[in-house]
Chains A and B, each alone.
Chain A
Amino acid sequence: MTTTKDHPVQEAHAAAPPAPGGSPRLSDRGLAVAFISPALLLLLGMSVFPLLWALYLSFTDYSATRDVPANFVGVENYTNILTSDQVHQRALTTLLYVVGAVTLQTVLGFAIAFLISRRTHGRGALTTMFLVPMMLSPVVVGLFWKFMLDAQFGVINSMLGSLGLGQVEWLTRQRTALISLIVVDTWQWTPFIMLIALAGLTAVPKYLYEAASIDRASEWFRFRHITLPMVWPLLLIAIMFRAIEAFRLFDLVYILTSGGPGVSTETLSFHVYKVAFLGFNTGTASAYGILMVLVVIVLAQFYLRYLNKLKEG
């Protein structure tokens, strides 16, 4: 019965022009669902669900170390965080760090890319060499620099000493610790900006420069009116990307300064860690985390929308 019923249908399907011989078992739609849903399920289970749980916990006074069921406390956690001077100070530290590091990286990265793009020989080798720091784990980078910045036998102080300059306690003085952090992050991520700026610079069509030199445009004019406008969109993507990453930064602080001395290098990420894993105020930490996620989502939206615009334009 069924076979006789199925047969004509299948034949009709086989004769249909868009997909002759197309599988009767799996339609395109079914295939798409079968291929996409496993990946989405993993994301839902490991990213979305945990965040929703954190959202729930953020309205409670739950603590991961106490065996007491969570009490609903409303938005108390949120108001506490938003009005806390401690958090304001961490936000300021984070802002200083993000702005300082990203600015330095952009200037240096673009400068290096510009210099490399003007070389005709050995561009590939040069680029590869400059990229090394970026590929290293933050752990390795943090340890490298902790050793080099060591006040007693660090190589940086040793070099300063041979230049006749005084010793600096890089990681244990309030003011220099944040600067050290910015320097190390800049060392690691300048190659990132450089790489993307270089991609932009090499994509500038040669004929534009040729036309400009026929017009005897000055170097500055060429840079200002040809190079920069052509590279800027890509550069902006790199900057936004770095800003998000810098905002999330945790590992480098953990290795290099542990937030110290005092709280001078305690970024928001590091403070969340302290609240969650040293203070075990899980509810408060969750609210804190949700607020950070909101900031990241806003930043990421800017980034993605811009990216989208760029791709379509």
Chain B
Amino acid sequence: MAITIDEAVPVSATHDAPPERRRGGRGRMVVEVVLLTALAVAMLFPVLWMLETSIKENRDVYAVPAKFFGFDLTLAHYKDVFVAPGGGRSDLSGSFLNSVIVAGASTVLATVLGVPAAWAYSRFSMKAKKDQLFFILSTRFMPPVVVVIPIFLMYRSLGLIDSKLGLVLIYAAFNVPFTIWMMKGFVDEVPAEYEDAAMLDGYTRLQAFHKFTLPLLVPGIAATAVFALIFSWNEFVFAIFLTSSQEVRTAPPAIAGLIGGTTVDWGLVAASAVVFALPVLVFAYLVRKHLVAGVTLGAVRR
């Protein structure tokens, strides 16, 4: 402390320092902005390249050296995503529909099971609550490739292999831990006194939850459901091992299947990847406030 005060005292030093510091500060700021821009370009380039590829004529897609500008535009690849070559619906569009059904149903199931459990964990004291909560979250950390082996055998004997119901169940099981952890945070933010007051007015505990707490939780439930939806939508490992037929197959394995052959139609791959990723980005933008909690499975809250 004493040293710093001594240093600050000389008039010349305080007089000379500011302009120099400002000049140094500006130079540094320029460097920082340039660095940040370079990193942003590096991060966004692959996305832009995919967008560009999806609207390029085929011969420009395979052009060497790559054409960054001045290529011929076409929407044919997007048409191919939805329309089969001979007319009618394409296989890919069917897979997209399956994805909507599976992701939607599993999200509803996870929310219906998870929200009440989160409320109960938040409100009531119970034995080994912390251990229960940690156990619940740790099921989410299991490697999917390992879990899928017994699940595969189990589904085979239950007749759930290659069925939408099977996928919905396993996705719901993977989203329930997330829903409970995420929602417990939201429930904790609603004072328990609201329910106590309602119960003094003669409501039962259940009615108090339903009439007073639940409406306040709606934004939180929406955000949590959106994350569950994104997780299910993006999931690949279970989808590829537990389904095989075109009627059940969801979009991720279907898109990955496009690169199986000897020649790859990269324009089509790009277009379907864009169609697949767009809803996720829109949804992620809607829940951007909760991203930190969402991507850490509700473990970290700002």
Contacts and interface: CB of A to CB of B under 8 A. Distances in A.
B49 A148 contact: yes
Interface stretch (B73-81, B84-92, B116-124, B214-222): B116-124
Looking at chain B's contact residues, the main secondary structure is: helix
B205 A187 contact: no
Interface string B266-292: 100110010011001100110010011
A190 interface: yes
B277 A140 contact: yes
A137 B236 contact: yes
B300 A139 contact: no
A112 to B, nearest CB: 6
A168 interface: no
B288 A128 contact: yes
B261 interface: no
B108 interface: no
A115 B143 contact: no
Interface residues of A, number: 108
A161 to B, nearest CB: 6
A226 B126 CA distance: 40
Given A26-B204, A187-B43, A155 B66 contact: yes
Given A144-B49, A282-B153, A129 B40 contact: yes
Contact of A147 (B116, B172, B204, B270): B270
A50 B151 contact: yes
Nearest to B32: A115
A118 B113 contact: no
A115 B4 contact: no
A146 interface: yes
9 contacts: A35-B117, A39-B176, A132-B43, A132-B281, A143-B255, A216-B7, A297-B138, A304-B134, A308-B134
Interface of B: 1, 4, 7-8, 32-33, 35-36, 39-40, 43-44, 46-47, 49-50, 53, 61-66, 113-114, 116-117, 119-121, 123-124, 126, 130, 134, 136-139, 141-147, 149-154, 156, 169-170, 172-173, 176-177, 180, 199-206, 230, 233-237, 240-241, 252-253, 255-256, 259, 266, 269-270, 273, 276-277, 280-281, 284-285, 288, 291-292, 295-296, 299-300, 302
Interface of A: 19-23, 26, 28-29, 31-32, 35-36, 38-40, 42-43, 45-51, 53-54, 57, 64, 108, 111-112, 115-116, 118-119, 126, 128-140, 142-148, 152-153, 155, 158-159, 161-162, 187, 190-192, 195-196, 199, 203, 214-217, 234, 237-238, 241, 244, 247-248, 250-251, 254-255, 269-270, 272-273, 276-277, 282, 285-286, 288-290, 292-293, 296-297, 299-301, 304, 307-308
